[in-house]
């Protein structure tokens, strides 16, 4: 019997688990993120396809935006000033601190909720629009995530994901440093299949990936990120730097934008 779309997503995502022998010797979690690489700075773009799609449904008099997996707030801060209330949801308190600081600097009313989506979704309030950028590949139960997003949106959900798992950009490095072959799935097509299976009919757009926070281009930050992802120790930094100079991460230059109606109903 074949997998459902949701089961296929979970199975493919599980294949990203790292060999225990490698994780056991790692000096830090390979799944952690550096908050600086999610900061709101002068690279923030306000006219991406995702921002356009969110603004199209926000009330003309302003509205609320729930930013799930908000990081530093780049997804929702792009909607200010039309968005007048921002709600940042993230499991990392340092990310939430950055979000709050950026929202304050933008003069936006805001609040933060610490938790893991969708496990702690009930801790978050309903909003006019829910944005969820670059989170899908972190969540094994994509169906539960999508249903929780829908239940928290009065008007629409706008999600962004790359066409393939973002860590696939390091697949060649894993082969080089550890002689380990890494997976290639799931993909955006698998995500859309899960949504269809739930009865959601998302609009699908493809566009060039927007700019990243300035810290992501810093060589020291790049080496530290690669070291962490590859479960290596600091004494390998010169080797990592030399490798990255010749083999920069193969980031996708495209993102997929999804929008579907909210299910929370009017306030």
Q: Which tens digit of pLDDT belongs to each residue from 88-111? A: 999 999 999 999 999 999 999 999
Per-residue pLDDT tens for 114-149?
999 999 999 999 999 999 999 999 999 999 999 999
Residue 202 burial by CB count (10 A; 0-12/13-18/19+): exposed, middle or buried?
A: buried
Residue 33's pLDDT is 87
Residue 212's pLDDT is 82
Region 145-167: mean pLDDT is 97
Residue 26 burial by CB count (10 A; 0-12/13-18/19+): exposed, middle or buried?
A: middle
Region 79-84: mean pLDDT is 95
CATH of domain 5-19+33-171+180-212+250-259: 3.40.50.150
**Residues whose CB falls within 8 Å of the CB of residue 266, separated by 6 or more in sequence, listed in order:** 154
Contact between 75 and 131 under an 8 Å Cβ cutoff? The reply is: yes
Q: What is the pTM of this model?
A: 0.94
At 1, the pLDDT band (50, 70, 90 cuts) reads low
Domain ranges for the chain, please list them: 5-19+33-171+180-212+250-259
Q: Is the pLDDT of residue 62 over 90?
A: no
At 267, the pLDDT band (50, 70, 90 cuts) reads low
Separation of CA 201 from chain center: 21
Report d(CA 182, CA 89) in Å as an integer. 30
């Amino acid at each position: 019997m074949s997998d459902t779309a949701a089961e296929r997503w979970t199975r493919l995502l599980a294949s990203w688990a790292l060999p225990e022998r490698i994780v056991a010797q790692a000096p830090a979690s390979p799944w952690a993120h550096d908050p600086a690489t999610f900061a709101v700075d002068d690279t923030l773009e306000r006219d991406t396809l995702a921002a356009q799609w969110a603004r199209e449904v926000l009330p003309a008099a302003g509205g609320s935006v729930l930013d799930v997996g908000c990081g530093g707030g780049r997804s929702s801060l792009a909607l200010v000033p039309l968005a007048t209330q921002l709600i940042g949801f993230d499991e990392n308190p340092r990310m939430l601190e950055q979000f709050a600081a950026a929202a304050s600097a933008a003069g936006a009313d805001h609040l933060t909720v610490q938790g893991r989506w969708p496990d702690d979704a009930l801790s978050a309030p309903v909003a006019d629009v829910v944005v969820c950028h670059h989170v899908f590949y972190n969540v094994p139960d994509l169906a539960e995530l999508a249903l929780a997003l829908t239940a928290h949106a009065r008007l629409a959900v706008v999600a962004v994901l790359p066409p393939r798992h973002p860590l696939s950009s390091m697949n060649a490095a894993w082969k080089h440093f550890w002689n380990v072959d890494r997976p290639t799935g799931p993909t955006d097509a698998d995500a859309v299949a899960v949504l269809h299976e739930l009865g959601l009919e998302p609009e699908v757009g493809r566009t060039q990936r927007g700019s990243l926070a300035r810290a992501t281009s810093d060589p020291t930050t790049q080496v530290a990120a690669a070291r962490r992802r590859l479960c290596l120790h600091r004494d390998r930094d010169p080797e990592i730097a030399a490798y990255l100079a010749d083999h920069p991460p193969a980031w996708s230059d495209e993102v997929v934008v999804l929008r579907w109606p909210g299910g929370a109903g009017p306030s």
